[in-house]
Structure 1
Amino acid sequence: MKKVRAENYGIRPDTGADHGEDFRRMFRENPQGAAFLLQPGRYDFYRENALHRELFLSNSDDVPERNLALLLEGMENAVLDGGGAEFVFHGPMMPVTLLDCKDVTVKNLAIDWEIPLSAEGEVREAAGNEIQVFIDPKKYPCRAENGALIFTGENWEEPLRHAVEFDVSTGKVRYDTGDCFPKVEAAELGEGLFRLKGDFSRLPQPGNVLVLRHSPRVHAGIFADSCREVSFEHLNIHSTGGLGVLCQFCEDLNFVDVNLVPDRKNGRRFLSGHDDGLHLSNNRGVITVEGCCFEGLMDDPLNVHGTSVRIAEMMDSHTLRGEFVHPQSLGFSRWALPGQEVSFLNRRSLKSLGTAIVKSFSLLSKGEFVIAFDGKIPEEIGAGDALENLTNTPSLICRRNLFGSGRARGILVSTPKPVLIEQNLFESSGCAILLAGDANQWYESGSCRDVVIRDNVFRDCCLTSDYQFCDGVISICPEVPEPDADAPFHSGIRIAGNVFHLYDAPLLYAKSTAGLLFSGNRLFRSHAYKPRHPQKALFTFDCCSDVNVGKNWVTGKLVSDEISIARMEEKEISCEDYEISVEQL
């Protein structure tokens, strides 16, 4: 592998100049077998000099074009080694984009913004239906205009959209606040102080810090599309204009020491990513996430899923017209390729009614497509039902990571391939692990068939706020409108050897799941918070079968020791050496 030194392309740190085109030229002229070496220091990038490209990003807002700073396209056997460099961005843009690359590594660098695309504010006073918040005008320029709080940057401005309160005494999302911040009317009081007036159901506390989200979800921190054998190593991402790292339609991904954390050296106490940390959509092969840290994110740290699509019209026995349903997942020209396997799902039960091999796939528009199969489409399938690409499903190894406190959950996983979640520390404010999947709302596909959750520690801050699908510290919650007991959505889930610190009742919730084991875990009662969750049982099982609650060790008197069941018979639960009552819902 040849060494390509950035300074030979006029790329030098700490100049303040925009080197975006210099980087892009360096990559174009060395498409194979190159290690790109940077000197440590600061490198600046400006939106005005970015490359503009129409790209469709999973789970992101649809816009005519994206602003790209660094673009690696069609590259093979390449390493971008920042050598400890800091990339600082000016305005909304995508810092690093990889398209159709193979065997590429990005490592040893930090990503940040001169003016972040989210902000922080300190609560100074709070009474009745209003609060006073100090927002540092040097770090986060903003103004009040016609009752709206408007954040301004380098040729951009955005209104406040949402806020999350962090408790400075714990360093975590404040207990029982979650998504309850209301729409507010803003007034400027001078010297960075603003009055925010609204219908506060949870009045923020003086001294606490609000993470203030304003910009839309448009640009990922790092975006990879249709790549193979990509590694991200030793990265610090301190701010984003959307998802942290988004990889879609890729094969074999490796994340080692990738950290989405606040830039504390610049005085940010809680703010990091604008949305999810690692968002991994429609991939295949093996995904490894190891030794990573996620803190202060405004959505889930790790989300692994596919994209299900809806059948709009049956054209003939081999062909149909389909549509992408969710407005943040459109235009996927590679949703299916010839030779890939697709499953046909009944939209009510999510039961697979058969599979077929793709013959052709073509877009009619960013929202519609035509797909043809080698074999016949099952006769039971019709308009309104769904398709799932089984080829674009990965296995996951997730170990030794910190899922720190932030908005929403810890890990979301929806894939039928093997999943191993071990030796992680969970401090999420919602549920720690969610096994989801649906073809009715989010259209994030993937029934789990082989999941091992072992040797993890779940802190008592888990489940301290309300978010969607957070019915237990571990929530197995697919959106199945009419679950079929003979065709469970999830199966083969083993939860063993973990440590749970529980301040409230709900530990495990499972719906439409078969072959579920919960054994060999240690449960400790915590009194750090007041019980608050509407689920009152320790275990809740809905339309499940072959459930085994094995021997678990309990220290302290738990809030609940009950098992609640619905749409199933008591004989489907086996309890070994565990005195627990069963209450029929």
Structure 2
Amino acid sequence: MCIAASLLFTFLPMTAAAQTVVAVSTHGANPDDGVDDRISIQSAINFAIAIQRNTGQPSIVEFEPGVYNLRHPPAGLAELITIDNATDVTLRGAIGDDGAPATVLQRNVTELVNEMEGADVISIDDGTNVTLENLVLDNSPGFTSAGECVVVDVANDAVEVDVFENLPHFEGMQAFSANVWDLETRDLKVGVPHLSISTNINNFPEQWHLVPGGDGRRYRLENMGFSEHLQVGDGVSWHFNVASGGHQLRASGTNGLTLENIHITNGPEAVTSYRDVGDLTCRRVKLAPIGNQLAVGPRDGMYTAASRGEYVYDQCHWEGVRWDPLALFNKLGYVENVVDARTIEFFWYRSDNYSIDDLQATLWFETGVVEATITDHQKGATSKDASGRTIRCGTLTFADDLPEGFGPGSVFAPHRRTKTVIRNSVFQNNYGRAPYLSGVNMEIVGNTFRNNGYALAIGLSSPGAGGFSRNVVIRDNKFSRTTWSSVVSTSIPTSGAIRFYENHPAQFTTESYNDTILIENNRFEGINFNPDYAAIDLRNAQNVTIRCNEYIDTPNTVQIDEATTDVDSIIIENDGGPGGCANCDGVNTDLAPPFGELNSADIIAWIFNPDPSLAEPTDVLDGFDTLAFLSYFAVGCMAPAARQ
């Protein structure tokens, strides 16, 4: 049989869309001159927005390579740079020879203090199709410090550290979100718990105090429990702000936000924040320490609430984040009263006031689960529940009659975010859930999870956040020496490198609400710190398929909580062999013979190599036409990881 291969390229005439380029230099902003550029940059942005409104053409605000200074704090301002009500506007920095961003927007803090009140570096509000490209968002001095432990005084519960050169320090600095590091590898020290965590500054009665030694960079901290976990020679990281200071980037109410080639080196509180953003795309976004830093931020790296549309994270990097490097929360609504056959009164926690009109929602009640369509959402007032927590009330009308049994005490999850993709990205040295997710149609493919304190966690996070996860694919990822701590309450002591769980003690303790999950062709290595922790920990789940995963130095592979999981709907097949399993290593066992025993590598070699010794597959395929063969090859003969 003769097979001819050809590649056809069709070149279509392309006309660049008309656009306006606004150089910040024409508005007085120049890099590397030490002058405050905030007003000049804002002028260029405002001009670009106005031009776009007049012409309807996209506008680009263009920066040169170098450092642009942003003096902080600006009196009475909530942000240093604002992009407000913009459409089709891009902030574009320069690219270095290595492909990294070469334009730095640097917040210059005049005096470091604990819990400094501050402004966001960039805020984006109520926009459409806004893009940031090739920018480093930095602070000088930074909001984080680190040093080497030189004294451990257990009797007095005291430790002393020498702050690393070129890192900030000051008398009386706080030790928020502190962690222990192995200075030889610059990794979080496996198995060592966090030294401090809280957003309540009253939990930090003691501060670092300057003592003799260390070339004027030696500090002592007492009565915080650090001496129990530190050894001389360990690295220590800590932060000055945990509940204030302003985000490096904050976006809200925007439809179509793209971040491309953005690096963030440190920041106070949640490093970046996204609320009510529709369709977020992040490519080559990197949150990672530089120089002598060990950590980036004291809380979440990318905190996301009220998300909607499609969210894509491609070739991103999260490292050195104290809490969750990426947190994607959904809302849960609680039914208070039934108004009529299709209408309910409800509340959700916190004061968020976004719309959930025209959305699909999962209705969960004592006797069943139903997917429904919301046709009308009337927003109500805020109030307090019996425990004093803030709630937002409202009414909902559905397209169809309410199912029997859905009423007061029932819960619903509106699906504002319709798809989430995390691919080809890195999560490492984060002491938090890496990442935390909930929602529908989620794909987590081709990522590296290394040396993170907590699991890749999917499920309900709290009464105020979470959501029912549906249609989840976790494929072709590498998990290495990750998960040595359990973020969930001690009532659920187990954990896993991948974990489906709930943390909602008032409701949903035993329900299998995470549904339709595929976990395949992942590699788990060194998941062995705690015998109760597994590579895969299933709770509150049903309709799960686990196959073709590889476990190295990982004795506890799959752990299923029978009390909360529909065990009969869990399928474990061809799992745990070398390379995942023999049947999944390039061989399609899902197809009937004669195709089922062909190896994709052999067929590729046979197509492109005329060596007669490689002609054996022709015997199997003899009698099939070229189209049938190519269809088989494209869809069937690859490993399962490449087929879906």
State whether TM-score is above 0.5: yes
Contact 2:70 2:105 in 1 (8 A): yes
Q: What does 1:99-114 correspond to in 2, within 5 Å? A: 99-114=125-140
Shift of 1:377: 6.3
Matched, 1:248 2:267: no
| Distance in 1 between residues matched to 2:396 and 2:443, nearest whole Å | 35
Task: Assess, with a 3 A threshold, how the Cα gap between structure 1 residues 321 and 247 changes in structure 2: closer, same or farther.
Answer: same
Residue 329 of structure 2: aligned partner: 305
Q: 3-state DSSP class of the match of 1:12? A: coil
Shift of 1:14: 1.9
Residue 275 of structure 1: aligned partner: 299
Pick the structure with greater CA Rg: 2
Letter of the 1:196 counterpart: L
Q: What does 1:152-301 correspond to in 2, within 5 Å? A: 159-181=174-196, 185-186=206-207, 187-190=209-212, 191-198=216-223, 199-200=225-226, 202-218=228-244, 219-264=246-291, 267-268=292-293, 270-301=294-325
Shift of 1:260: 0.3
| Distance in 2 between residues matched to 1:342 and 1:427, nearest whole Å | 34
| Distance in 1 between residues matched to 2:39 and 2:333, nearest whole Å | 38
| Distance in 2 between residues matched to 1:446 and 1:216, nearest whole Å | 26
The root-mean-square deviation of aligned C-alpha atoms, in Å, is 3.0
Shift of 1:35: 0.7
Task: Assess, with a 3 A threshold, how the Cα gap between structure 1 residues 142 and 317 changes in structure 2: closer, same or farther.
Answer: farther
Contact 1:497 1:521 in 2 (8 A): yes
Matched, 1:26 2:44: yes
Task: Using the aligned pairs only, state the percent identity.
Answer: 17
470, 482, 493: which one aligns with 1:449? 470
Matched, 1:80 2:91: yes
Gaps of 5+ in 1: 53-66, 144-149, 152-158, 557-585
426, 446, 450: which one aligns with 2:449? 426
Residue 71 of structure 1: aligned partner: 82
Residue 68 of structure 2: aligned partner: 43
Task: Assess, with a 3 A threshold, how the Cα gap between structure 1 residues 174 and 351 changes in structure 2: closer, same or farther.
Answer: farther
| 1:112-147 deviations in Å (ceiling 9; x for gaps) | 11122222132112242321112359632322xxxx
Shift of 1:81: 0.4
138, 144, 147: which one aligns with 1:118? 144
Contact 2:359 2:373 in 1 (8 A): no
Letter of the 2:435 counterpart: I
| Distance in 1 between residues matched to 2:263 and 2:128, nearest whole Å | 23
Shift of 1:554: 4.6
| Distance in 1 between residues matched to 2:168 and 2:373, nearest whole Å | 52
TM (norm. structure 2) is 0.72
Residue 514 of structure 1: aligned partner: 542
Contact 1:437 1:478 in 2 (8 A): yes
Kindly tell me the number of residue pairs found equivalent between the two proteins. Answer: 506
Shift of 1:173: 1.4
Contact 1:117 1:274 in 2 (8 A): no
| 1:363-391 deviations in Å (ceiling 9; x for gaps) | 4477433334366766745666544322x
Letter of the 2:484 counterpart: T
Contact 1:93 1:241 in 2 (8 A): no
| 1:267-313 deviations in Å (ceiling 9; x for gaps) | 32x12123222233222222111111111111122222212244567
| Distance in 2 between residues matched to 1:554 and 1:184, nearest whole Å | 52
Contact 2:127 2:254 in 1 (8 A): yes
Contact 1:413 1:436 in 2 (8 A): yes
- As a proportion of its length, which structure holds more strand? 1
Shift of 1:2: 0.8
Gaps of 5+ in 2: 1-18, 53-57, 95-101, 110-117, 198-203, 384-389, 580-644
Residue 99 of structure 2: aligned partner: none
Q: 3-state DSSP class of the match of 2:73? A: helix
| Distance in 2 between residues matched to 1:489 and 1:308, nearest whole Å | 13
Contact 1:449 1:493 in 2 (8 A): yes
Residue 463 of structure 1: aligned partner: 483
Task: Assess, with a 3 A threshold, how the Cα gap between structure 1 residues 352 and 445 changes in structure 2: closer, same or farther.
Answer: farther
* Stretch deviating more after TM superposition (227-236 or 42-51): 42-51
Letter of the 1:237 counterpart: I
Contact 1:414 1:444 in 2 (8 A): no
Task: Assess, with a 3 A threshold, how the Cα gap between structure 1 residues 337 and 475 changes in structure 2: closer, same or farther.
Answer: closer
| 1:131-167 deviations in Å (ceiling 9; x for gaps) | 1112359632322xxxxxx33xxxxxxx333311111
* Stretch deviating more after TM superposition (177-186 or 99-108): 177-186
Contact 1:260 1:273 in 2 (8 A): no
| Distance in 2 between residues matched to 1:275 and 1:111, nearest whole Å | 17
- As a proportion of its length, which structure holds more helix? 2
Shift of 1:213: 2.6
Q: Larger relative contact order (C-alpha < 8 A, sep ≥ 6)?
A: 1
| Distance in 2 between residues matched to 1:462 and 1:374, nearest whole Å | 43
Residue 394 of structure 2: aligned partner: 370
Shift of 1:446: 2.1
Shift of 1:524: 0.8
Shift of 1:314: 6.6
401, 410, 428: which one aligns with 1:404? 428
Letter of the 1:8 counterpart: T
Contact 2:502 2:509 in 1 (8 A): no
TM (norm. structure 1) is 0.78
* Stretch deviating more after TM superposition (225-234 or 365-374): 365-374
| Distance in 2 between residues matched to 1:316 and 1:281, nearest whole Å | 30
Letter of the 1:34 counterpart: S
* Stretch deviating more after TM superposition (496-505 or 6-15): 496-505
Residue 12 of structure 2: aligned partner: none
| Distance in 1 between residues matched to 2:377 and 2:321, nearest whole Å | 41
Task: Assess, with a 3 A threshold, how the Cα gap between structure 1 residues 213 and 322 changes in structure 2: closer, same or farther.
Answer: farther
Residue 393 of structure 1: aligned partner: 417
* Stretch deviating more after TM superposition (397-406 or 43-52): 43-52
* Stretch deviating more after TM superposition (212-221 or 543-552): 212-221
Q: What does 1:286-365 correspond to in 2, within 5 Å? A: 286-311=310-335, 322-325=346-349, 330-334=350-354, 336-346=355-365, 356-364=374-382
Contact 1:410 1:428 in 2 (8 A): no
| 1:542-575 deviations in Å (ceiling 9; x for gaps) | 322211111123569xxxxxxxxxxxxxxxxxxx
Letter of the 1:398 counterpart: I
Shift of 1:343: 4.9
* Stretch deviating more after TM superposition (226-235 or 162-171): 162-171
Contact 2:345 2:393 in 1 (8 A): yes
Matched, 1:474 2:502: no
| 1:399-450 deviations in Å (ceiling 9; x for gaps) | 111111121221211002x111111111142334111125xx3522221211
Shift of 1:224: 1.5
Letter of the 1:80 counterpart: L
Contact 1:458 1:499 in 2 (8 A): yes
Shift of 1:51: 6.2
| Distance in 1 between residues matched to 2:287 and 2:92, nearest whole Å | 19
| Distance in 2 between residues matched to 1:435 and 1:217, nearest whole Å | 25
